[in-house]
Amino acid sequence: MPGQSLFQRIAGQIGLYGAVACYVVFALLPIYWTIKISVTPQDLLYSEGIRLWPSRMTLANYASVLKASDFPRYFLNSIIVSVSTAFIVTVVASFAGYALSRFRFRGKALVSLVLLLTQTFPLVMVIPPIYRIMGQLGLTDNLYGLIIIYTAFNIAFATFLMQSFLDGVPKDLEEAAMIDGCTRLDALRRVILPLTLPGMGATVAFVFTAAWSELLFGLMLINSESQKTFSVGLLTFVGKFAVDWGQMMAASVLALIPVCLFFLFLQRYLVTGLTAGAVKG
């Protein structure tokens, strides 16, 4: 900007990059440290406790996690639960978002309000009743139970997301398609769907991440080893073998991989989505 001295400009640049560096270090420190411990050999763990990088590296922790523990099963369970949830939520939320985006009808404001209010429900409030209902339906200690619960909890936000993506497709296009010979459903399939595909991808990624991260319902509903999701498995592992740091860290890094991959894809759409969810109130 004109009117600033060279000194002010340089000081401004230093301040800018300094602040940016602080944020980056703060954001990456825990992740970095987890990775570091995961590749540190057992014998160096305490002696080189606060070194930035161990003097020797090992992948033994990863090998034992993958071969000699239940983590691969947890991992698979989490994948099943998260993928199913993400898929179901996205389909259901697409329809709901379509209704909110394209129709004027009595009760629309009420529906939006109810969806928003479900966002404020204290999870802990519904845990005991859900536990009982799921027990009666035989869905405790069962991945289906988790899928149903995660689906219900993610629908409201996913609906807002899809609504905002659908709002971004001009109504004219749909009308043009209907004049060109489409029924409403044809127009949805041939014109709107291809245009909202990136948005649906973002919704899938978002819900996948949320389902992957859930802990409390998993802890409560799942008991048997064979049904544990990653979060539950890791936490019980921490409780039982609190000293095997390397393996825990290796398992954590493995748990991070799918969400970080999704995050790379999701990042572009985060801004749209979160604003949509936030502004709709």
Partner 1 sequence: MTALAEDIGLLQRQADRRRFIEPWLYLSPALILIFTVLIVPLIIGISYSFRKFSAFHSEYAGLDQYRAMLGDSVLHGALINTAWWTVASLVLQFFLGLGLALLLNRPFHGRRLVQGLVFLPWAVPIFLTGLTWAWLFNPLIGPLPHIFHAIGLQAEPVTILADPATAMWGPIIANVWFGIPFFAITLLAARKAIPSELYEAAAIDGASPWQQFTKVTLPFLAPTIAITVMLRTVWIATFADLIYVMTAGGPAGSTNTIATYIYVSAFKSLDKGYASAIAVLLLVLLIAYALIVIQMRRTLLRDV
Partner 2 sequence: MASVSLRGIHKKFGPVSVLEKIDLDIEDGEFVVLVGPSGCGKSTLLRSIAGLETIDGGEIRIGDRLVNHAAPKDRDIAMVFQSYALYPHMDVRRNMAFSLNLRKSPAELIAERVSAASAKLGLGSLLERLPKQLSGGQRQRVAMGRAIVRNPKVFLFDEPLSNLDAKLRSTMRTEIKALHQSLKTTSIYVTHDQIEAMTMANRIVVMHDGIIQQVGPPLELYDRPANIFVAGFIGSPTMNFFDAVSQGKSARLGDGSALVLPTGAVVKEGREIVIGIRPEHLRFSGEGLPGRVVVVEPLGMSTQVTLDAAGERVTLMALERPSLAPGDAKSLTARPEDIHVFDRSTGLRLN
CB 250 within 8 A of CB 61: yes
Q: Under the criterion CB under 8 A, does residue 24 sit at the interface with partner 1?
A: yes
- Give me the DSSP letters along 16-37: HHHHHHHHHHHHHHHHHHHHHH
Q: Under the criterion CB under 8 A, does residue 58 sit at the interface with partner 1?
A: no
* Cα dist from 230 to 74, 200, 213, whole Å: 5, 25, 9
Q: Under the criterion CB under 8 A, does residue 57 sit at the interface with partner 1?
A: no
Name the 3-class secondary structure at 182: coil
Q: Under the criterion CB under 8 A, does residue 83 sit at the interface with partner 1?
A: no
Locus of tokens 């393996």: 247
From the list partner 1, partner 2, none, which binds 79 (C-beta under 5 to 8 Å, kind-based)?
A: none
- Give me the DSSP letters along 184-250: HHHHIIIIIHHHHHHHHHHHHHHHHHHHHH--HHHHHH--SGGG--HHHHHHHHHHH-TT-HHHHHH
* Shortest distance (Å) from residue 212 CB to partner 1: 6
From the list partner 1, partner 2, none, which binds 212 (C-beta under 5 to 8 Å, kind-based)?
A: partner 1
Q: Under the criterion CB under 8 A, does residue 153 sit at the interface with partner 1?
A: yes
Count of CA atoms in the C-beta half-sphere (13 A) of 56: 8
From the list partner 1, partner 2, none, which binds 160 (C-beta under 5 to 8 Å, kind-based)?
A: none
From the list partner 2, partner 1, none, which binds 247 (C-beta under 5 to 8 Å, kind-based)?
A: none
- Answer for which of 14, 20, 59, 63 binds partner 1 (CB under 8 A) is 20
* Shortest distance (Å) from residue 175 CB to partner 2: 5
Q: Under the criterion CB under 8 A, does residue 17 sit at the interface with partner 1?
A: yes
Interaction pattern, residues 123-152, with partner 1; x per rule: CB under 8 A: xxxxxxxx-xx--------------xx-xx
Q: Which residues does 208 contact at the CB level (< 8 Å), separation at least 6?
A: 82, 83, 85, 86, 258, 259, 262
From the list partner 1, partner 2, none, which binds 118 (C-beta under 5 to 8 Å, kind-based)?
A: partner 1
Site residues for partner 1, window 207-266 (CB under 8 A)? 209, 212-213, 215-216, 220, 231, 234-235, 238, 245, 248-249, 252, 255-256, 259-260, 262-264, 266
Count of CA atoms in the C-beta half-sphere (13 A) of 17: 5
Q: How many CB atoms neighbour CB 6 within 10 A? A: 7
Site residues for partner 2, window 147-176 (CB under 8 A)? 170, 172-173, 175-176
Closest CA to 168 of 200, 194, 195: 195
Give the length of the chain: 281
- Answer for which of 10, 14, 27, 59 binds partner 1 (CB under 8 A) is 27
Q: Under the criterion CB under 8 A, does residue 43 sit at the interface with partner 2?
A: no
- Answer for which of 89, 161, 191, 248 binds partner 2 (CB under 8 A) is 191
Residues of the shown chain interacting with partner 2 in the complex, contacts defined by CB under 8 A: 170, 172-173, 175-183, 186, 191, 194-195
